[in-house]
């Protein structure tokens, strides 16, 4: 094995070897500072996101420990921080809550199995070099899904914010109905705590951005709840708390590998897989624009897959790249992925110290924080921009958003399928424009026909796009319509430089059209056809039908061979005469009129 080959495999098996030379005193100092910042940021987020997922609060913190370390060491991004995220948490809850009671041992066991399968699928896709798959999930679909997920998050916290009884996992419309029905039963003390937490979070985010607004809001909400309970009494206020977190490191766990459980969580695992990979790759690319780092999507798949595989054995639920924590990590000056490793270690130490304090955190305060999270997820700027610029993209956006509200798992698939359908509809109608030779430039350059005089026997068409099975009908109908409207136009010259691709169905259609025009007394000709298109037609034995002499390379004199096949009687009486050959073959002395 040569040295370059050995290094190639070494870097792919152990990607952290690529950046080990970057580690020095300066980078370590910067990574430690970024790590401390990241640990403080993820502390409230982990608890909040676990609540969204229907998991005990500590599981959100566990998901930011071991999985984050594995993803940092085996991914390709220097700044991507993995762990629990809002979208994945809501997807986990939506998929698992119909199968088991959230928070129950059965629910936790199934979520661990979901995490294992998600990691397995991600690893397989990465090893198979199928990172390109995430490119088929459009940005519009992600925006619509995220906005829908944000509304579901807010809906799931209505009962905690207002202190009313709504069944857990109730659909979006049911939450709205229950809220209206129980409007008179709103608990004012619970709502006060939630509102104060919400307001303090907004103010902290605006006026003291250097401090983690979630922690500020949690502290303020907890203090207000404590004062209210002290003055009024817990029996009257009915303010519930999250409860103390276990002060220990992530315990070992074992997913449920029974056939029944795997059968139930297989499809949800596919949903979470594609969603997680889309988030991770999109975030890493977005940050790479600033850091000027090259991102390997397939290696990122492998890193995310390994993190979830390993995490499922360390009490972690499905994790992926987090945009806000990754952004904070980069902004805090992180130089290498060791910043994420340090953040995870600091988080473990912090958990051991502050876990008992969670018993003072009201669920209403957590609801207020999650309202802030939900609001921040809705990308109003891009939603407005899409609505103004593209009707089809707007339809995709709202179908995805509303579909997510109805059924989160299927909502994103509806959006993906619709966006792909619109794309296929668009490419199935390649642009076909009538052209004529440009004046004073011979017959080698063409301009749109417009009001220019056109040959009565020869139609010249510039075709831009692919001639594949989905576009065959449109192209064939367009070619046939030419002689249906003007029967004398029995010949067609295709300016073929813009044909990007052709498949078997497209080749067969062109051969069929060539035979049809030959029977009419005309022909089908191609100018500036790409070499790969020409060779495909040759291999598929279609040149016999079209005619090898009917293909003209760039700057070739195509006019004379085509002109010789036209009806001379029509040419003799023609008053257009756009070609020089028209003048040469006119009766002597007759001037050109163009």
User: Which tens digit of pLDDT belongs to each residue from 408-437?
Assistant: 667 778 888 899 899 888 899 999 999 988
pLDDT at 69: 94
Residue 527 in this model has a pLDDT that exceeds 80: yes
Both structure tokens of 182: 């129980």
How big, in percent rounded to 5, are the helix, strand and coil portions of the chain? 65, 5, 30
Residue 2 in this model has a pLDDT that exceeds 70: no
3-state secondary structure 210-272: CCCHHHHHHHHHHHHHHHHHHHHCHHHHCCCECCCCCCCCCCCCCCCCCHHHHHHHHHHHHHH
Quote the pTM value: 0.73
Kind of pairing between the strands at 491-495 and 524-527:
parallel
Give the three-class secondary structure for 8.
Answer: helix
CB 90 within 8 A of CB 149: yes
Chain mean pLDDT for the chain? 85
Average pLDDT over residues 161-184: 84
pLDDT at 5: 63
Average pLDDT over residues 19-45: 83
Average pLDDT over residues 356-381: 81
Give the pLDDT confidence of 543-579 residue by residue, as tens digits.
989 999 999 998 888 888 998 888 888 888 888 888 8
CB 469 within 8 A of CB 434: no
Q: Place 584 in a pLDDT band, splitting at 50, 70 and 90.
A: low
Residue 541 in this model has a pLDDT that exceeds 80: yes
């Amino acid at each position: 094995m040569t040295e370059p080959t050995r290094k190639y495999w070494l870097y792919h098996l152990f990607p952290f070897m690529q950046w080990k030379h970057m580690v020095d005193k300066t980078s370590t100092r910067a990574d430690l500072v970024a790590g401390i910042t990241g640990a403080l940021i993820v502390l409230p987020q982990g608890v909040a996101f676990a609540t969204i997922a229907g998991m005990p609060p500590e599981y959100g913190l566990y998901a930011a420990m071991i999985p984050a370390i594995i993803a940092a060491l085996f991914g390709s991004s220097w700044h991507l921080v993995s762990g629990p995220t809002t979208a994945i948490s809501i997807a986990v809850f939506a998929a698992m809550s119909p199968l088991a009671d959230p928070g129950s041992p059965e629910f936790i066991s199934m979520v661990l199995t979901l995490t294992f399968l998600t990691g397995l699928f991600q690893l397989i896709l990465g090893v198979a070099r199928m990172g390109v798959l995430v490119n088929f999930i459009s940005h519009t679909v992600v925006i619509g899904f995220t906005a829908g997920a944000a509304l579901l998050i807010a809906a799931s916290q209505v009962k905690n914010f207002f202190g009313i009884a709504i069944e857990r996992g109730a659909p979006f419309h049911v939450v709205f109905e229950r809220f209206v029905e129980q409007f008179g039963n709103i608990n004012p003390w619970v709502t006060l705590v939630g509102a104060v937490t919400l307001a303090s979070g907004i103010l902290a985010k605006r006026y003291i951005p250097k401090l983690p607004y979630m922690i500020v809001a949690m502290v303020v909400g907890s203090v207000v709840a404590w004062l209210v309970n002290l003055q009024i009494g817990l029996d009257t206020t009915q303010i519930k708390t999250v409860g103390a977190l276990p002060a220990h490191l992530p315990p070992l766990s074992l997913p449920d590998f029974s056939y029944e459980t795997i059968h139930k969580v297989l499809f949800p695992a596919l949903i979470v897989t594609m969603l997680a990979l889309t988030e991770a790759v999109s975030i890493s690319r977005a940050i790479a624009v600033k850091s000027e780092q090259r991102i390997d999507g397939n290696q990122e798949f492998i890193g995310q897959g390994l993190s979830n595989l390993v995490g499922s054995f360390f009490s972690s639920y499905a994790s992926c790249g987090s945009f806000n924590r990754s952004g904070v990590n980069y902004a805090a000056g992180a130089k290498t992925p060791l910043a994420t490793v340090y953040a995870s270690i600091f988080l473990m130490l912090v958990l051991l110290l502050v876990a008992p304090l969670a018993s003072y955190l009201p669920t209403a305060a957590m609801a207020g924080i999650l309202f802030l999270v939900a609001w921040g997820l809705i990308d109003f700027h891009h939603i407005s921009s899409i609505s103004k610029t593209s009707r089809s993209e707007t339809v995709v956006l709202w179908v995805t958003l509303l579909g997510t509200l109805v059924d989160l798992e299927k909502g994103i698939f509806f959006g993906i399928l619709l966006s792909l359908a619109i794309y296929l509809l668009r490419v199935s109608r390649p642009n076909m424009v009538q052209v004529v030779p440009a004046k004073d430039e011979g017959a080698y350059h063409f301009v749109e026909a417009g009001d220019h005089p056109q040959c009565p026997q020869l139609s010249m068409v510039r075709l831009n796009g692919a001639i594949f099975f989905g576009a065959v009908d449109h192209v064939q109908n367009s070619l046939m319509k030419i002689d249906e409207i003007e029967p004398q136009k029995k010949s067609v010259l295709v300016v073929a430089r813009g044909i990007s691709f052709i498949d078997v169905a497209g080749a067969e259609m062109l051969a069929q059209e060539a035979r049809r025009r030959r029977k009419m007394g005309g022909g089908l000709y191609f100018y500036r056809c790409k070499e790969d298109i020409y060779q495909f037609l040759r291999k598929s034995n279609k040149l016999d039908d079209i005619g090898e002499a009917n293909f003209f390379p760039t700057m070739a004199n195509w006019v004379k061979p085509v002109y010789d096949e036209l009806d001379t009687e029509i040419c003799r009486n023609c008053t257009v005469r756009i070609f020089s050959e028209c003048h040469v073959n006119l009766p002597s002395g007759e001037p050109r009129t163009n």
